[in-house]
Chain A
């Protein structure tokens, strides 16, 4: 085999121009495919990043009834659903791929929270001590919630920067009081994501999809949530996962776990479902994929044409080397050996073409990303597949010439000199 590869390189080297021209079809095909795949992957990764945010691999599991999210802002307290215990939370963290789990209460519509005479109409969230760590948020000014805030049921609150703007109208929120019914809460700090993430917006569609609107969020320690809403409510769970690839599986496992442990009775219509952004991202990605798949097909035609070119040149090569083949057969070379020699030569030829094609494709993709501002991500598996595929093309299209060479009659082959 090593002998064959060596021979193949020698053969290719001795006909440089011809070899390059033969490889051209393969080079163009592979380069086109690599470029297209890189662009697809770049676009997809941008979509994913926009939806998921920078590095926040969080999947949330919420209570649903008959397939709709069960929001306590409008719905009564569900009898058949238990409060999630600390033990269950720890079980959630045991799910493979899960790193940290947090339980929280949420109202997406808040009735009755005021700063002076301004009503707040954003989200209210009652958080446990893991919540900010799960979401990767940190205190921007003032302080966060402490152990004692929870144990002593202190009436304190944190606001995010959006709420700080919409509710406080330029007043520094830290130290201010919020009223909820007859209760008064002190704002102890402003909290926000560790890294400010701005989605890349290229179109109006992107804007509607990614831009955060609304009036922001006010956070309370979960221990005082019953002070706001009187009852022990079933919580939602937020789970930080190792990476985006396991989001779906962790989400499903966690939802199953909560559904089986929290719902009392059957046929209640209640279940827990994961709401991760990934699914949404995937739908968008599928759209961009389908258009690009067609491009890949077109590029494949170039590969086919390249393959036929290889076959053509190999046939010429067999004719040219008839006496060499004849001699080898006379000296005792079996069919398989001759077949392998020519197959190897074809495969080496197309593999070199494939490698050059990959390099060209990567270069082209980089160029496109610079010039047209399109995100590009080079995909390692795609490169590997491309090279393997180009080798395969050599084997497939080399088969006919190689068989012809192997079946040459040694007398005819020797006579033709």
Chain B
């Protein structure tokens, strides 16, 4: 089953009065169960691509189909719905709500899906268990290590059972050991059938993916087979 399909996606940004093309005719298809890494140096347009894939931004031209929905001409609130339903985000700097316990942080996306409170809690606790944090359910983010925080963020991304897990430099703010822990979780998720798309500039991380794309100056270059997976 096809999760997403990008056709001739272009994105322009205004720099002063001149439009600058940041993404040039991107074509990409992601199938159910894919484990993809997109690599590229800073300024290559990989963040912009991630924003478009994550429905945070809209392309200047081109077609984007996500889980069978064409995203052309969708309003802000419809895009919010798409994000909530189909995409789980993992960010480099976690973005946890500092005054919420781990379980409430994880339950947040369910709130926006209008899931009743009791079910929210239950599903959030299960998601935390799945990332091995059942002991930390009532901890605040500042009481946890970076690795633990990122695992909470993964639990939050997975709690809605999204079609696509979108990770932006998931290990960028972590030390090697916790980075490895986090990546192991990604590998496990992939093994269980989760579709994962990850953006990184770290070749070691990218090697874990089954497919690696390179992006340079706004163009998606090669489609090379990924590494060996787990080391």
Contacts and interface: CB of A to CB of B under 8 A. Distances in A.
Contacts of A14: 99
Contact of A331 (B57, B76, B89): B89
Nearest to B51: A411
Contacts of A228: none
A417 B83 CA distance: 21
Given A3-B111, A330-B83, A410-B56, A335 B89 contact: no
A333 B80 contact: yes
B97 interface: yes
Interface centre among B80, B83, B85, B156 (most CB of A within 10 A): B80
B93 A333 contact: no
Given A327-B97, A417-B93, A411 B112 contact: no
B94 to A, nearest CB: 10
A329 interface: yes
Given A3-B111, A414-B91, A331 B83 contact: yes
Interface in A378-417: 410-411, 414, 417
A380 B166 CA distance: 57
Contact of B77 (A323, A324, A334, A417): A334
A323 B51 contact: no
Interface in A337-354: 337
Interface in A1-30: 3, 10, 14
Nearest to A406: B76
B124 to A, nearest CB: 13
B81 interface: yes
Interface string B65-92: 0000000000011001101110001010
Contact of A332 (B91, B97, B112): B112
B77 A335 contact: yes
B218 interface: no
A329 B54 CA distance: 12
Contacts of B81: 332, 334
A414 to B, nearest CB: 7
Interface string B49-62: 00100101100000
A4 to B, nearest CB: 11
Given A410-B56, A411-B57, A329 B91 contact: no
The contact size tier of chain A is 20 to 34
A324 B105 CA distance: 12
Contact of B109 (A332, A335, A336, A337): A332
A82 interface: no
A194 interface: no
A415 to B, nearest CB: 9
Contacts of B97: 324, 327
Given A10-B99, A324-B97, A414-B91, A330 B54 contact: yes
B20 interface: no
A154 interface: no
Given A327-B95, A414-B91, A332 B80 contact: yes
B108 interface: yes
A77 B165 CA distance: 103
A334 B89 contact: no
Given A411-B51, A411-B57, A417-B93, A331 B112 contact: yes
Contacts of A242: none
Interface in A101-142: none
A324 B97 CA distance: 7
A249 to B, nearest CB: 52
B144 interface: no
Nearest to B160: A332
Contacts of B99: 10, 14
A333 B83 CA distance: 9
Given A332-B80, A332-B83, A332-B112, 6 more contacts: A330-B95, A333-B80, A334-B77, A410-B56, A411-B57, A414-B91
Interface of A: 3, 10, 14, 323-324, 327-337, 410-411, 414, 417
